[in-house]
Structure 1
Amino acid sequence: MRPKELIQKWVQTFNNADSSGLAEMYSETAVNYQVPEEPVEGKEAIGKMFKEEFARAEMVCIVENIFEDGEWAILEWKDPLGLRGCGFFHVINDKIVFQRGYWDKLSFLRQHGLPIPEE
């Protein structure tokens, strides 16, 4: 499966809030680094992260663009509340081995009425 095809499937699975299905798309030693957060390492931990995040807020990914370059797919997205971001996915043997995402955490928390951490 080409990286772009895998990310199209990832978006569908994400929009179904299917944390187990998402976890299956990652290699056992994958790293998911959402820049506003600490990196999450390992397929099991990534599945747990998605499960916790789906319990916190209803999240929807609307694709603006998906680009592919060799083993990489780049996803530009928005959500219905106006948040925008992008994700970079390194795909080897039909599995995500590394993901890095950029989005505004403060805007996300405010839009979903979640507590703002004090620093």
Structure 2
Amino acid sequence: MSGKPKAVLKEWVALFNRGDADALADLYHDDAVNHQVANEPVEGKENIRAMFHAEFSAAEMVCIMENLFEDGEWAILEWKDPLGLRGCGFFRIVDGKIKFQRGYWDKLSFLRQHNLPIS
């Protein structure tokens, strides 16, 4: 992996689609923040790892890349899943690892699609 934002994101999508929470978390800085705006921010690589473990055990998730852009330290991913959910993620990549991530998607639709409790 080159460490360029687009390359990091392509690796992120591949690991996400394999459901590999440990390898996925290793793409983050120790003090990274993952803020899915429908949820509270998750701070720190180990908390991000735990978040991915919990999410992958709760639902089968697939990320289909629609558009991937790079601008300096930033990669922007527009995605969809096989069930029709769409979203967008912004990733700040520093020294080849994710320092900050913000994601936008419809949480209510996701919960309904996966028959998860609405909270």
The TM-score range, normalised by the shorter chain, is over 0.9
Distance in 2 (CA, whole Å) between partners of 1:65 and 1:55 is: 27
Distance in 2 (CA, whole Å) between partners of 1:113 and 1:96 is: 31
Residue of structure 1 in register with 2:82 after alignment? 80
**TM-score, with structure 2 as normaliser:** 0.97
Residue of structure 1 in register with 2:118 after alignment? 116
Structure 1 unaligned residues grouped into runs of 5+ = none
* Pairing 1:1-119 to 2, within 5 Å after superposition: 1-117=3-119
Distance in 2 (CA, whole Å) between partners of 1:6 and 1:13 is: 11
SS in structure 2 opposite 1:10? helix
Q: Which amino acid aligns with 2:59?
A: A
- After TM superposition, give the deviation of residue 39 of structure 1 in Å: 0.2
Percent of aligned pairs sharing the same letter: 67
Structure 2 unaligned residues grouped into runs of 5+ = none
- After TM superposition, give the deviation of residue 89 of structure 1 in Å: 0.2
Q: Which amino acid aligns with 1:42?
A: G
- After TM superposition, give the deviation of residue 116 of structure 1 in Å: 1.1
Distance in 1 (CA, whole Å) between partners of 2:38 and 2:111 is: 12
Ranges of 4+ aligned residues in structure 1 off by more than 2 Å:
none
Count of paired positions? 117
CA RMSD of aligned residues (A): 0.4
